[in-house]
Amino acid sequence: MPTLIGHLAAPLGIGLGLGSRTVPRRVLASGMVLALLPDLDVLAFRFGIPYNSPFGHRGFSHSLVFAAIAALAFTLLIGAARRRPLASFLFLFVSAASHALLDAVTDGGLGVALLWPFSNERYFAPFRAIEVSPLGLSRFFSDRGLAVLRSELLWVWLPLSGLGLWLYAVRRMRTAWIR
Ligand SMILES: [Zn+2]
């Protein structure tokens, strides 16, 4: 994975870029939770479930089906279904799915089971630029940790904050146009 903080870049960039009318604060906060949620599967190691099992790390919780179910559940749970349900669902789905897509761009571990339950194959992106983050905190505070942060700034924060700024600019231009 990128670091946990790195996974927040997608909901923050897209959510803040789209603005609070499209993505109210509660929906944004839920998107941040959903972007982190798939990595709860590291608990699988504790239960002796092997990494390459569909229920191991980067398994079912990193699939598009899981992202859709989790997004739907959160849309209903936070009451977003009453106001702009489709926009909320789409934002939450993209936030949840961004987790696996970012993991697929990392240079270590196994790939993500993106197409579970239809396939247990683990996928990586053809382009794997993000240095994988060590799972332990002690190993994180090392030269390796610095390299991880550097690659994450370049390949996660820079493009996603750029996307956020672009969405913001488009929104401002549209408002000016409508006026
Ligand atoms: Zn992950």
pLDDT reported for residue 4: 83
Tokens, residue 117: 């339950």
Question: What H or E segment, with its residue span, contains residue 35?
Answer: helix 25-36
Could you tell me the pTM of the whole model? 0.90
Pick from 131, 114, 132: which is nearest to 123 by CA? 114
pLDDT digits (tens, 9 = 90+) for 56-104: 999 999 999 999 999 999 999 998 777 889 999 999 999 999 999 999 9
DSSP 105: T
Centroid of ligand 1 to alpha carbon of 114 (angstroms) = 11
pLDDT reported for residue 141: 65
- Quote the CA–CA distance of 153 and 160 in Å, as a whole number: 10
pLDDT reported for residue 119: 96
Tokens, residue 163: 């996307």
* DSSP letters for 124-155: --S---BPPPPSSHHHHSSHHHHHHHHHHIII
pLDDT digits (tens, 9 = 90+) for 8-53: 999 999 999 999 999 999 999 999 999 999 999 999 888 999 999 9
Place of tokens 């919780």: 61
> What pairs with residue 158 in β-bridges?
none
Please state, in angstroms and as integers, the Cα–Cα distance from residue 151 to each residue in 35, 48, 88, 146, following that order: 19, 31, 30, 9
Return the SS3 of 106: strand
Centroid of ligand 1 to alpha carbon of 37 (angstroms) = 8
Centroid of ligand 1 to alpha carbon of 172 (angstroms) = 34
pLDDT digits (tens, 9 = 90+) for 116-128: 999 999 999 998 9
pLDDT digits (tens, 9 = 90+) for 128-158: 988 887 766 666 666 777 888 888 899 999 9
- Mean residue pLDDT of the chain comes to 91
> What pairs with residue 112 in β-bridges?
123
